[in-house]
């Protein structure tokens, strides 16, 4: 992450000769100093992906103006694109249930400034986290999920998210399955941390499943949420070694450490506009 103010351009488009030249040329003409740039050509899909950080002070214009000027080129090359300003903090809403290791972890990163975002609120289907969240000066909303009518909760969730004007929803060990309509309404905006190395051990009790299968490593996966449970594009994964000596509860314990680290990395990539979705895969530039 750059400290100086920068604009981040993120795009994907059909691959062809000269894209980098056109984009870099546009930025150079605008006087833009490139702080960081990366790109990827996928030979299977024929699609090109690019992310550029430009020093905002070297450009003779603000973000709306840059956006306006870039649009014709974007149209010509049929880009799916976005420009972001590092001075505008992203807003994330965090959802938790009763386990709080990911929440503590995110709060520490937020409080120390490592995670440079606004957290307009934390939402939970339990009251357990209220005290900690409010101590940090963050509003806490208790949204119980009634098994016989979950829709009330989903509507409340949706309203809270909209009211918060948030960009991203982080399921930090939120033990409820969101409805398809919510997943689709916020496609690419909802991150989940799943407590297994996907695609192994989809669904409930992955550590129990892992123990029974006798695997020698357990892991965690940060992915975008889609209507298909645990099938969304993977952003980040990691594993840790276990042995026959470890009971299920030990796997759970090791897993917590991996979950925290993987969610934090995945969220960071997402917030830095480094993640581009490519079907079931992600390009992390």
Assess 278 for contact with its own copies (CB under 8 A): yes
Assess 257 for contact with its own copies (CB under 8 A): yes
- Separation of alpha carbons 111 and 116, rounded Å: 9
- Near its own copies by CB under 8 A, which window of 13-21, 67-75, 169-177, 178-186? 13-21
Binding to its own copies by CB under 8 A, coded x per residue (else -) over 149-188, reads ----------------------------------------
The binder of its own copies chosen from 9, 193, 198, 263 (CB under 8 A): 198
Q: Which one is catalytic: 230, 238, 246, 257?
A: 230
- Site size for its own copies, by CB under 8 A? 78
Nearer to its own copies, 156 or 175 (CB): 175
Binding to its own copies by CB under 8 A, coded x per residue (else -) over 14-53, reads ---xxxxxx-xx-xxx-xxxxxxxxxxxxxx---------
Cα separation values, 170 from 125, 251, 257, Å = 14, 23, 17
Residue matched to tokens 């916020």:
186
Is 230 one of the annotated active-site residues of the chain?
yes
Assess 212 for contact with its own copies (CB under 8 A): yes
Rounded to the nearest 5°, which phi and psi values hold at 103?
A: -65, -50
| Helix (H) or strand (E) segment spanning residue 134 | helix 130-135
The candidate with the shortest Cα–Cα distance to 95, out of 140, 146, 134, is 140
Within positions 95 to 134, which residues make up the interface with its own copies, using CB under 8 A?
99-101, 104-105, 107-109, 111-112, 114, 131-132
What lies within 8 Å, CB to CB, of 247 at 6+ separation is: 211
Q: What is the DSSP letter of 177?
A: P
Q: In angstroms, what is the minimal distance from the CB of 69 to its own copies? A: 15
Cα separation values, 111 from 86, 161, 266, Å = 18, 22, 19
Nearer to its own copies, 8 or 99 (CB): 99
- Separation of alpha carbons 145 and 155, rounded Å: 11
Within positions 132 to 151, which residues make up the interface with its own copies, using CB under 8 A?
132, 135
Catalytic residue numbers read 230
């Amino acid at each position: 992450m750059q400290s100086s103010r920068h604009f981040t351009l993120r795009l994907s488009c059909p691959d062809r000769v000269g894209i980098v030249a056109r984009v870099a040329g546009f930025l150079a003409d605008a006087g833009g100093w490139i702080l960081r740039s990366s790109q990827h050509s996928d030979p299977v899909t024929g699609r090109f992906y690019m992310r550029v950080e430009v020093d905002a002070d070297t450009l003779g214009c603000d973000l709306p103006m840059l956006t306006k000027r870039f649009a014709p080129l974007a149209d010509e090359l049929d880009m799916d694109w976005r420009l972001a300003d590092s001075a505008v903090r992203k807003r994330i809403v965090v959802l938790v249930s009763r386990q709080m290791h990911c929440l503590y972890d995110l709060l520490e990163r937020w409080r120390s400034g490592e995670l440079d975002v606004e957290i307009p609120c934390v939402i939970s289907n339990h009251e357990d986290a209220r005290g900690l969240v409010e101590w940090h000066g963050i509003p806490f909303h208790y949204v119980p999920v009634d098994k016989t009518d979950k829709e009330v909760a989903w509507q409340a969730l949706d309203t809270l998210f909209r009211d918060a004007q948030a960009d991203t929803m982080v399921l930090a060990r939120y033990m409820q399955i969101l409805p398809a309509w919510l997943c689709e309404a916020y496609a690419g905006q909802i991150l989940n941390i799943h407590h297994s190395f996907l695609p192994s051990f989809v669904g409930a009790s992955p550590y129990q499943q892992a123990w029974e299968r006798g695997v020698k490593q357990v892991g965690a996966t940060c992915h975008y949420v889609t209507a298909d449970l645990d099938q969304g594009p993977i952003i980040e994964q990691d594993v840790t070694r276990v042995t026959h000596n470890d009971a299920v509860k030990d796997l759970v314990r090791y897993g917590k450490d991996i979950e925290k680290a993987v969610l934090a990395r995945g969220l960071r990539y997402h917030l830095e506009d480094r993640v581009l979705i490519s079907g079931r895969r992600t390009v992390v530039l």
